[in-house]
Structure 1
Amino acid sequence: MNKHVLFIQGGGGKEDYAADANLVASLQEALGETYLVHYPFLPNESGLDFGRKKQIGKHISLHKGEIILVGHSLGASMLLKYLSEIKTRKKIAGVFLISTPFWSGDEDWKQGFKLHKNFADKLPKHIPVFLYHSKDDKEVPFDHLEIYAQHLPKATVRKITSGGHHLNNDLSMVARDTKSLSKS
């Protein structure tokens, strides 16, 4: 029986979806046949959060049994928002967050993405969280990883020397960490 992975894209347009498809392919290849990576297109909808919480909830609910969650960039931050604001009965084996922006500021357009101050307290306690960020990411500053590490002290933090925003489209490290869940 396959283990199911739900990958949430960064951005919202078809270009972002196509760019992240390379990450999904890398992850699927590194995980092998035992895992099935699901990659739904999440279009921008109306609303401050582009409809992401609703879309994420819908796709999580489609899977029977345990699920592994992976998000890139905006998708990673929206996974955290969803998990900290919506109670789910779904068994989640792990959460893997890649190049995750930490939204701050008072601009109207950011309000739907920002996490509550106590977001970490609202996350399910039993779910392992992994954070990945490249020091040479030109889209999301590397110091955002440190902010998340402070809020999520039990998270496994992977500081990557180079690879940019898409980690050179190589998610073998994420795959190794994903496979480690079944060993613990």
Structure 2
Amino acid sequence: MKQILIIHGGSSFASYHDYIDYMQTMPLDYERLKHSQKWKPWIAEEMIDADVLLPAFPNGANAIFDEWKLYFEKILPFLEDDVQLVGHSLGAMFLGKYLQHCPLAKPVRRVILIAGRYTDIAYDAGSFELTDVSRLSESADEVHLFHSQDDKVVPYTDLAKFQADLPGAISHTFTNRGHFNDATFPELLKLLKQK
């Protein structure tokens, strides 16, 4: 059975104080409180010939890498032969850091990183700090990178940093998809359906 594991995004902070400060100063957007369709469950609905796994990783609002690592390693034994790993935003950072330090014993078919942040001096990624992903390709037959030039959350320039570490990766660039928070994601669906 084809398996697709999608790891959602979130936030990570260097300290609990930084997290509380963010919570106190973060403006709340009323529109974001309303229900809206997201592409992750849409992919699950569209991929009727696959098991699409959509786990909720621990405390996405103040994520800690070691907690996500423990949870991910509980999922790994369930993965079989035809696996695609998808990470969006902080999920892409998680896959990058995890696979850099803990390459999989058996490579998966694809690793897909969507709008991943590559850490630099101007951005504090907390425990998800990511400065090298060159070993990620050891864990996958194919690596794909998705990024949009108008992403207001993760600078488009971060794509080039991933490309430098992963010269064999296939890049998918867009001009108008922001941080990929749409209701559907047809380009990703097409890729996931490929043999």
Does the pair score TM above 0.5? yes
Q: What RMSD in Å do the two structures reach over aligned CA positions? A: 3.0
Partner of 1:137: 151
Equivalent position SS for 1:27: helix
Structure 1 residues 22 and 178, CA gap change in structure 2 (3 angstroms): same
Superposed, 1:105-144 pairs within 5 Å as 105=121, 110=125, 112-117=127-132, 119-121=133-135, 123-124=137-138, 126-144=140-158
Contact 2:150 2:178 in 1 (8 A): yes
Structure 1 residues 39 and 126, CA gap change in structure 2 (3 angstroms): closer
After TM superposition, the score normalised by the length of structure 2 is: 0.76
1:114 corresponds to which letter in structure 2?
A: E
Q: Which has the larger radius of gyration?
A: 2
Partner of 1:43: 58
Contact 2:3 2:84 in 1 (8 A): yes
Partner of 1:179: 193
Question: Which whole-Å CA distance do the structure 2 matches of 1:141 and 1:106 have between them?
Answer: 11
Map Cα deviations across residues 69-126 of structure 1 (whole Å, 9 max, x no partner): 001000011011111111322441101111111112388x635212354x30464165
Listed as ranges, the gaps of 5+ residues in structure 1 are: none
Contact 1:134 1:165 in 2 (8 A): yes
User: What is the deviation of 1:128?
Assistant: 0.6
1:43 corresponds to which letter in structure 2?
A: P
User: What is the deviation of 1:170?
Assistant: 2.6
Contact 1:68 1:92 in 2 (8 A): yes
Superposed, 1:1-184 pairs within 5 Å as 2-11=1-10, 22-30=38-46, 32-44=47-59, 48-49=64-65, 51-105=67-121, 110=125, 112-117=127-132, 119-121=133-135, 123-124=137-138, 126-180=140-194, 182=195
Structure 1 residues 20 and 35, CA gap change in structure 2 (3 angstroms): farther
Listed as ranges, the gaps of 5+ residues in structure 2 are: 13-31
Contact 2:88 2:113 in 1 (8 A): yes
Question: Which whole-Å CA distance do the structure 1 matches of 2:125 and 2:154 have between them?
Answer: 14
Partner of 2:27: none
Question: Which whole-Å CA distance do the structure 1 matches of 2:105 and 2:87 have between them?
Answer: 20
Q: Which moved more, 1:78-87 or 1:120-129?
A: 120-129
Percent of paired sites with the same residue: 27
